[in-house]
A and B are shown apart, each in its own frame.
Chain A
Amino acid sequence: MNKPSIGLRRLIQTGVFIGALTASVAGAAADTIKVGILHSLSGTMAISETTLKDAMLMLIDEQNKKGGLLGKRLEPVIVDPASNWPLFAEKARELISKDKVSAVFGCWTSVSRKSVLPVFEELNGMLFYPVQYEGEESSRNVFYTGAAPNQQAIPAVEYLMSEDGGGATRFALLGTDYVYPRTTNKILRAFLNAKGVADGDIMEEYTPFGHSDWQTIVSSVKAFASEGKKTAVVSTINGDANVPFYKELANQGVKAEDLPVVAFSVGEEELAGIDTAPLVGHLAAWNYFMSVETPENAEFIKKWHAFTKDENRVTNDPMEAHYIGFKMWVQAVEQAGTTDVDAVRQAMYGQTVTSLTGTKAVMNVNHHLSKPVFIGEVQDDGQFETVWQTEGPVIGDAWSDFIPESKKLTANWTYPWVCGNCEKPKF
């Protein structure tokens, strides 16, 4: 039992040593530490990602006021990949090889993450990815601070099936047509089958990005729900399509108590464009809600309002993910005494940060976080109210246990595994 830990320590020590060497060389050239921000500021995804850029600027600013990091100022390097997936890869390359940033915080859609992945692996960069996603991935160069399916989708469906959630036995899975909804629904279908829900009681429907005419789908879901079984809708509808979807639900008089909709991509930010009074009772599952009452969260919201100079700006789950990711990175750099990627990566494992929900978030060796799961109901003021939460933090699972070929795989980047998708340890 002791052997691996000695190996690990030695690895860290060497890492730290090499790191310190490179840092001193680099330090001679500049006395700032550069942090890359890779979020779309124009194009379709600007709607979600611009907020994250602002959140990162706030966190960096705050750290600088505390005296920076390792005695140096943090310098944000902002690039705009313009919601263009190949451009993400180009900008990532620019950040790592030209700007020489120590870490990158960025991406939103899974396709943008998949597009930068080879760049980060080739150049040995470090990416913090803050959005809930479909799992089935664990890269040595990415830390996933958003929720994996077992930290969002599975608990949400379990809640819907519980007595409090309405005891649903029939499910309509609605999603936008791309990798995240399709993979999530594949996992959910397997999970539901395992729970005894027949395929006939599962309806799966996909729509194009930005779909705005929801009449047919809402009507067909209503018909599906009127066949005598308690039905619930699980929505992985992304981005812009949500507003017309919820408007149609409201106008067609779909009440949450009869046909609840639980969404995985709808947060406070997305609700900002809708009158939520007719939607009270519909649900969302996240690891954070702006309404969570903790001293940490109250302080964060206060700072956010002060930073943006706007009392109406909302906070959301991916912002909290960046908060955790950034704090962890700062701690890891301090611990390693360098910003060298390999040294910091070793220092990341087991790093803890008190999250905004007041729990201890831990970075696990599979590069995913342990976080609590919350289910919230939409309120008439556009906020969520927690109706259910897990007892404690849930460990993010990179490879779903409900997909047979994934179940065998393990992600563990420490000795003796050192692998993101292995059936056996490498060493």
Chain B
Amino acid sequence: MCQHHNLKLCRLFTTISLIILLAMLSGFISFTAIASPAERDVALALLIEKSSKKRAAGVDALAASGDPAAASILAAMVDGDLFFQKSDNRVVIAKKQADGYAVIDPILNEALGVLPSGDIKKIRVNNRLRRQIRGALGGLNLSHSNAETRLAAAYGLQKSPDPALRPALKSAFAKEADTDVRTAMGMALAVIDSRPEAAPKDRLVAIELLTDSDSTEARVILTLLAGDTEKDASVRAAATIALDTVEDRLFYFQTLGSIFQGLSLGSVLLLAAIGLAITFGVMGVINMAHGEMIMIGAYVTFMIQEVFRSFAPEYFGLSLALAVPAGFVASGALGVVMERSVIRWLYGRPLETLLATWGISLILQQAVRTVFGPTNQEVGNPEWMSGAVELAGGVLLTYNRIWIIVFALAVLAAVWALIRFTSMGLEMRAVTQNRRMANSMGIHSGRVDALTFGLGSGVAGMAGVALSQVDNVSPNLGQAYIIDSFMVVVFGGVGNLWGTLMGAFSLGIVNKFLEPVSGAVLGKIIVLVAIILFIQKRPRGLFALKGRAVEN
């Protein structure tokens, strides 16, 4: 069918169309194809095409070519490191550096030097291609020497299952020694076997495997097998039973997850409120600038991280350890200045205090806006605070939230110990209980006031360090927490750290159980109304202080 004069071109064309055809019928591509440079080059030519359909065909063709470089090319592509040279359309792997791109030829495996960004063009990937590449890499990396790569391969195959890989997967599954990888491979096998084209016998085996799995993917497949699309009645029945088992287990884990989420929200509330429990709870100052103390702690974190980024990026993980004391000192010092300059003149005049501190909060906000600009600042999560641990059944406990719970409890314990066991704590309690008596016992009450206010502000600063890990670092950060903080302190019982703890956690958990039912907006309103009603009944909150001190 090819005419004589342009035989070569015509043959190339035939090969390309054949490859595309093959790629589309990927079921027929044998996994152990013999390496052929021609096939590889045709595949690479498809990769630099504009149309994403052709690039998709290129990915399949490359995976099927059996070329030794295929895995590294595809891995670079999914990471966005695959480019082609504009001059000769050669496909290269390029890594960005300060003066351009360091370019490597993946086939010859040799460095081509540093090229300016104008000489090469990125091979675009979209979400569909990413899935496809992960599947293809799954096939290529099933017997990789590194267990982590094998695990990624198995996950890739779960996401885009390819029946053609079943034999390879089965033999890899039989040989696998690592438990995690084996489980993932079993899952991938089950995913392939549960397809409607598979034999009903295989699907029944798959269902059994899926029943033991806690992953959300298992639930997806079981739902499909239990549904109307499944033709085989016995499979449908087995899937329905399996689904019930899985869902019971998932419900249990999800409840645990909700409790964790509640604790986590509670710990955020607790952190925000501890400082206020001191300034408002112990001293009785309605401090509207409390939120801004939190914000300043967050900005201190940002500044410290900037220093680390420019001078010691390798120690970035330590930035938070330094930010905690720095945040405490910065906000604490500001608190002392505020108390000495403004608040001490206003003791016993709550309305004036409220207005004055509100004014201070506006001044601080606008000052930060002027210095740092109104936009969000980037505060990074250190390595040990990123990611999550999977409880089971897709319920994730994120590391940053686990650490915040721990941190909140630690701060609370420290503050409690300080008030309970140190001489400064003793003086603080003495002054709040009976100022005149404390004065006549030789306690310098003005100094104690300043230090107490400084302590409350400093604790708010530490809260800001932690909150910078979950929220925006912007001049508005504090405003978001001021109402919640007052809510917790009033609900828990003014002047009572134990009440603050219980108030924060109970509000957090109630909120998290309400939210899925009522939605976030209504949930918040319900909680607020409930607190108002509760305060009507118990004006002193959950844990009211008793005794003479309360009366005045």
Contact = CB atoms under 8 A, between A and B. Distances in A.
Interface of A: 41-44, 46-47, 50-51, 163-167, 177, 205-208, 210-213, 215-217, 219-220, 222-223, 226-228, 240, 243-244, 247-248, 250-253, 256-258, 260, 269-270, 272-275, 278, 280-281, 377, 379-380, 385, 387
B368 to A, nearest CB: 11
A205 B517 CA distance: 11
Interface in B216-258: 216-217, 219-221, 223-224, 227, 254, 257-258
Interface string B331-367: 0000000000000000000000000000000000110
B127 A260 contact: yes
Contacts of A50: 373-375
B127 A47 contact: no
B380 interface: yes
Given A166-B128, A257-B130, A206 B520 contact: yes
Contacts of B365: 42
A60 B521 CA distance: 42
Nearest to A280: B80
A222 B474 contact: no
A365 to B, nearest CB: 36
A355 B378 CA distance: 31
Interface residues of B, number: 65
A228 B224 contact: yes
Given A166-B128, A253-B387, A244 B223 contact: no
Given A207-B521, A257-B134, A251 B216 contact: no
Contact of A226 (B219, B227, B515): B219
B516 interface: yes
A244 B377 contact: no
A269 B375 contact: yes
Contact of A210 (B401, B470, B476, B521): B476
Contacts of A248: 398
Interface in B362-411: 365-366, 369, 373-381, 386-388, 394-396, 398-401
Given A219-B261, A257-B130, A243 B472 contact: yes
A44 B268 CA distance: 21
A258 B131 CA distance: 8
Interface in B130-166: 130-131, 134, 159
Contacts of B377: 273
A47 B470 contact: no
- The winner among B159, B257, B386 for most chain A CB atoms within 10 A is B386
B265 interface: yes
Contact of B124 (A163, A252, A256, A387): A387
Contacts of B271: none
Contacts of A41: 374
B264 interface: yes
A206 B523 CA distance: 11
Given A47-B375, A215-B512, A256-B127, A240 B223 contact: no
B376 A273 contact: yes
A274 B376 CA distance: 9
B423 interface: no
B519 interface: yes
Given A223-B254, A273-B474, 8 more contacts: A165-B126, A217-B515, A240-B472, A240-B474, A251-B386, A281-B126, A379-B80, A387-B126
A260 to B, nearest CB: 5
B400 A47 contact: no
25 contacts: A164-B128, A165-B127, A167-B128, A205-B519, A206-B520, A206-B521, A208-B520, A212-B268, A213-B268, A219-B254, A223-B254, A226-B216, A226-B219, A226-B394, A228-B221, A243-B471, A244-B472, A250-B386, A251-B387, A251-B401, A256-B127, A258-B131, A273-B376, A280-B80, A377-B127
A216 B258 contact: yes
A46 B475 contact: yes
B56 to A, nearest CB: 9
Contacts of A206: 519-521
A270 B377 CA distance: 10
B201 interface: no
A222 B127 contact: no
A222 B398 contact: no
A31 to B, nearest CB: 33
B183 interface: no
A80 to B, nearest CB: 10
Nearest to B126: A387
B158 to A, nearest CB: 10
A208 B388 CA distance: 26
B381 A275 contact: yes
B396 A217 contact: no
Contact of B396 (A42, A243, A253, A256): A253
Contacts of A247: 381, 400, 470
Given A164-B126, A385-B124, A208 B378 contact: no
B369 A46 contact: yes
B128 A208 contact: no
Given A251-B398, A251-B400, A212 B480 contact: yes
Contacts of A272: 375-376, 378
B126 A219 contact: no
B85 interface: no
Contacts of A385: 122, 124
Interface in B501-522: 511-512, 515-516, 519-521
B127 A166 contact: yes
Contacts of A163: 128
A166 B126 CA distance: 9
A228 B265 CA distance: 31
A268 to B, nearest CB: 11
Interface in B49-88: 52, 80
A248 B52 CA distance: 30
A177 B257 contact: no
A81 B412 CA distance: 41
B524 interface: yes
A252 B131 contact: no
- The winner among A46, A207, A217 for most chain B CB atoms within 10 A is A46
A165 B128 CA distance: 7
A317 B204 CA distance: 53
A273 B376 CA distance: 5
B473 interface: yes
Contacts of A208: 520-521, 524
A380 B388 CA distance: 20
Contacts of A240: 376, 472, 474, 476, 480
Contacts of B520: 205-208, 211, 216-217
Interface string B511-540: 110011001110010000000000000000
A273 B396 CA distance: 24
| 6 residue pairs, one from A and one from B, having the closest CB atoms | A273-B376, A251-B398, A46-B374, A226-B216, A257-B130, A215-B261
B355 to A, nearest CB: 18
Nearest to A43: B476
Given A222-B216, A223-B216, A216 B474 contact: no
A275 B127 contact: no
Contacts of B519: 205-206
B258 A227 contact: no
A196 to B, nearest CB: 17
B521 A215 contact: no
